[in-house]
Structure 1
Amino acid sequence: MTSRGTKIRILAGAVALGSMSVLVAPFSAAAGSRSDRAHSGAVVSIEQAADLTAEEVAGELRGKIDSSQVRYGVTAYRVAYRTTDSAGAPTTASQLVVLPKNLPKNLPKNRARHLSTVSWLHGTTVYRKDVASENPKSNDRLAALLFASTGRAVSAPDYVGLGSGEGFHPYGDPRATVAASVDGLRAARTVAHRSGRELKRKVQVSGFSQGGPATMLVGRALQEKRAGGYFRLGALAPVSGPFHISAFEAAAADDKIAKSGIYLAYFATAWNKMYGLYTSPGDAFRSPYDSKVEGLFDGYHTAGQIVSELPAASKDLFTEDFLNKIRNPDGVLRDKLRPMDNTCDWRPNVPVEIFHSRGDKDVDFSHAAYCADQLTSNGAAHRLTDVGDYDHNESVRQALPRIVRSFDERENLHRAGAGPRAVP
């Protein structure tokens, strides 16, 4: 949890810029129609959010993230696009799309026009404006600026129900996470095309905290072509992800995580909307919190407002019966947790670079080892890097320059005609 009143970063990450509105296309289609589904990824609107020189990008990063790899200026856009929610129903979502500019004139024409693509997936966010498309100071905006300043196009989806998107945020739902991310890539391709650029097919996927499991979910969808169409998997680099989510929730129920009650309340209220974890708030929350907790997690309350209204400890916020359900999940809860315990249980056709910090008190380092073990059991090439003795939020700032180097290395190997690198 950060001290800023606009963020909860229990599994977190975020960033932002300015704003000039340029409406591209209105959203007008019958909800639930086949046409809506066919047009997932269609752009609804574009606003230019920022136009920065390389020096200005370096200035934004200075003191937060190593800026030594910044090479180009960038133009950032706030983009609304069509996607689907946790029930598969049509909705709109938003994202930040960032494109590099001022590429060298001596760069081969195809390399200047065809951009490598990064999908950056953010961490837990309770306030809908605390995302890359809205908040100029969030880590996610900084991450998008960094990747774009190295010559890449960046799609940084806000996910469903955050940013300017419709409805509530279906926190941690695999279906909505993959849809918003893949449809965000499709929309980013449209934005790039309108500026005379093309996105390469292979996508470099990375994300922090909640975005760690999301990275593996999106990567698998791209590899198995469940995403359909143009894009394919090019690289995977998750950071500080809760890959054993049932163990994470049990730790929160036992107050083994800082501000466990706040985190678990977000999880419980979101998953109740999707899956029906309790019949009434009083079944899960102690009085007097049962009368207000759901309203606080509506996306319009800041972290500061939530913290001021709720106790930090799970034992003070939840009923003991509900905490026991979290510790020993069964039924629908067990069934929905299972896919999130197995986001690394497959064999990527690219090496996986896992980053974590041994000093992380929010998501224990054991989660990274859990992911690595699942990859090992599937014969997948991977490397687990400890970025040092840093807390949760600082771990992503330490990891980002390493991720850029990893992506650069893979691209250089590809250009040299080498095969996939074996990672111990």
Structure 2
Amino acid sequence: MTTHAPLQTARIRYSRRLRSPLAAVCCALLIGGPAATAAAVQPAARTQMRGTLVSAEKLYTLATPADVVTELAAAGFAGATVRHGVIAYRLVYRTVDVHGLPTTASGLLVLPLTGERPIQAVSYAHGTGVHKDDSPSMRRGEFLSAPVVAHAAAGAAGVAPDYLGMGKGPGPHPWMDIGSETTASLDMLRAARAFAPRTGHVLEREVQVTGFSQGASAALGLGRALEAGGDRWFRLGALAPVSGAYDFGGTELPALFGGDVDAKSGAVYAAYTLVAFNRLHPIYDSPHEVFEKEYADDVEELFDGAHTGAQLMAGTPRAVGELLTDHGQELMEHPTGAFADALRTTDAVCTDWVPDAPVRLYMATGDEQAVTANTTQCRSALRENGVKAPVVDVGAVDHQASRHAGSNVAATPSIVRWFGALRGR
């Protein structure tokens, strides 16, 4: 049995703030992002400290498998794959921002209390949140952290980046930016590897990678980086993204206007898309150009990391048609310039590499947020490159009245089992 001595600097405080169910449903989701992988273009002087551990804080211990089952059930997740109690830490580590400059980020590391000392990591990339606390290391016993706990309770090291600007990270979150999602994920793995020996564990070379919604594309970005030799130690072992908007510009954006996406979700994602992309790839000079006057003065503030999901829901209209000016809708339906360039990078997440590791794509028929044509497109793109990527339809499972969120709940135990079988454990 592995013992876990508390860190001298550890604090056993933990916040269990509640979110409204509606906000959790709408903001559980979506995509990946527009920028090229930052790691590929960074000068060595800026990247040599990437993944260095800044701090580690013990968050909580679930001492027995029964405790884990109770924790997962409270978040709506099944506990059939639980074999170990777990211990959870928040790591803060060095990484780079969207411009390649030094910054810090945080993430959640969950380890089994029993089992083998050499341990394989499972990297989990979470879905969309708007408040900084909408991240795995800040939410105990909830939708965002439950998959990480489930993988650890099955005998893996659950590793989940909060992403830049989320959790304890400074600045705004560069939503849908695959480059920074990739560097934050890779550097979180490095920090976890540095910290693991303090708990009696050593992380093995192979990493199994999964992610939900926004995190599905982030998972593909990390998998691509690992297979390209982005780290000297880690290698990709398997890839299992869930309900991603992999073809964001070609499939997802049109769906916002075509009635295939829930109307309220469509308004939220249209707003987040324009605000987030404009921060990195200037699209408009004034929000009044793209947002109706009722929303133009306040919409950008809703995505500052300090507003909650409930505030976002209250501050956006019932449907995308009420949100955008004619110019804003034209821009979303027919992107040009920097916006179109950024979307081409986003839409290449399944098309510009050939995974050697086994891949499964998880989805739910009737997904009201990340339409399933995204998964069809991703499978086709991979197949054209000679990659067999079976699609696993998890069925009609809702979570808080959302089929999209339900896909994550239903896919998690299936992925835990598949990853475990690949590890031979």
Q: TM-score, normalised by structure 1?
A: 0.87
CA-to-aligned-CA distance 1:23-44 (integer Å, 9 cap, x gap): xxxxxxxxx9965531111111
1:275 to 2:281 alignment = yes
Instruction: Name which of 386, 390, 393 aligns with 2:405.
Output: 393
| Counterpart contact for 1:213–1:241, Cα < 8 Å | yes
CA-to-aligned-CA distance 1:152-187 (integer Å, 9 cap, x gap): 111100000011101110011121011000000000
1:56 to 2:82 alignment = no
User: How far is the alpha carbon of 1:130 from its aligned partner?
Assistant: 1.4
| Counterpart contact for 1:244–1:370, Cα < 8 Å | yes
| Counterpart contact for 1:239–1:354, Cα < 8 Å | yes
CA-to-aligned-CA distance 1:334-363 (integer Å, 9 cap, x gap): 111112112111221112111100021111
Instruction: Name which of 125, 129, 134 aligns with 1:125.
Output: 129
Aligned equivalent of 1:47: 57
Q: Secondary structure at the match of 1:191?
A: helix
1:38 to 2:48 alignment = yes
Aligned equivalent of 2:78: 66
1:186 to 2:190 alignment = yes
User: How far is the alpha carbon of 1:234 from its aligned partner?
Assistant: 0.6
**How many Å separate the matches in 2 of 1:93 and 1:261?**
29
CA-to-aligned-CA distance 1:280-319 (integer Å, 9 cap, x gap): 1111111131111111110111111122122131111111
**How many Å separate the matches in 2 of 1:217 and 1:102?**
31
**How many Å separate the matches in 2 of 1:180 and 1:409?**
28
1:228 to 2:231 alignment = yes
**Aligned partner letter, 2:101:** A
**How many Å separate the matches in 2 of 1:35 and 1:342?**
29
Instruction: Name which of 312, 331, 336 aligns with 1:330.
Output: 336
1:116 to 2:126 alignment = no
User: How far is the alpha carbon of 1:76 from its aligned partner?
Assistant: 0.4
| Counterpart contact for 2:179–2:221, Cα < 8 Å | no
Q: Secondary structure at the match of 1:130?
A: coil
1:312 to 2:315 alignment = no
Q: Secondary structure at the match of 1:181?
A: helix
Aligned equivalent of 2:297: 291
**How many Å separate the matches in 2 of 1:6 and 1:249?**
21
Q: 1:8 to 1:43 in 2, by over 3 A?
A: farther
| Counterpart contact for 1:93–1:161, Cα < 8 Å | yes
User: How far is the alpha carbon of 1:255 from its aligned partner?
Assistant: 5.4
Q: Secondary structure at the match of 1:7?
A: helix
Q: How does 1:25-424 map to 2 (within 5 A)?
A: 36-53=46-63, 54-62=65-73, 64-103=76-115, 112-225=116-229, 227-246=230-249, 247-254=251-258, 256-258=260-262, 259=264, 260-345=266-351, 346-390=353-397, 391-412=403-424
Q: Secondary structure at the match of 1:352?
A: coil
Q: 1:4 to 1:155 in 2, by over 3 A?
A: same
**How many Å separate the matches in 2 of 1:261 and 1:305?**
14
| Counterpart contact for 1:255–1:314, Cα < 8 Å | no
Give unmatched runs, 5+ long, in structure 1: 14-31, 104-111, 416-424
CA-to-aligned-CA distance 1:61-107 (integer Å, 9 cap, x gap): 1262221110011110011111111121211111001111122xxxx
| Counterpart contact for 1:131–1:138, Cα < 8 Å | no
Does 1 or 2 have the higher relative contact order (CA < 8 Å, sep 6+)?
A: 2
Aligned equivalent of 1:25: none
**Aligned partner letter, 2:100:** G
Q: TM-score, normalised by structure 2?
A: 0.87
**Aligned partner letter, 1:154:** G
**How many Å separate the matches in 1 of 2:327 and 2:368?**
26
| Counterpart contact for 1:8–1:125, Cα < 8 Å | no
Instruction: Name which of 12, 22, 29 aligns with 1:12.
Output: 29
User: How far is the alpha carbon of 1:373 from its aligned partner?
Assistant: 0.3
Q: Matched residue pairs, number?
A: 385
Q: 1:4 to 1:11 in 2, by over 3 A?
A: closer
**Aligned partner letter, 2:193:** R
**How many Å separate the matches in 2 of 1:340 and 1:354?**
18
**How many Å separate the matches in 2 of 1:123 and 1:73?**
25
Q: 1:11 to 1:374 in 2, by over 3 A?
A: farther
| Counterpart contact for 2:178–2:217, Cα < 8 Å | no
**How many Å separate the matches in 1 of 2:228 and 2:203?**
20
**Aligned partner letter, 2:275:** T
Q: 1:253 to 1:161 in 2, by over 3 A?
A: farther
| Counterpart contact for 1:99–1:153, Cα < 8 Å | yes
**Aligned partner letter, 1:135:** R
Percentage identity across paired residues of the two chains:
37
**Aligned partner letter, 2:389:** H
| Counterpart contact for 2:237–2:357, Cα < 8 Å | yes
User: How far is the alpha carbon of 1:128 from its aligned partner?
Assistant: 1.1
**Aligned partner letter, 2:203:** L
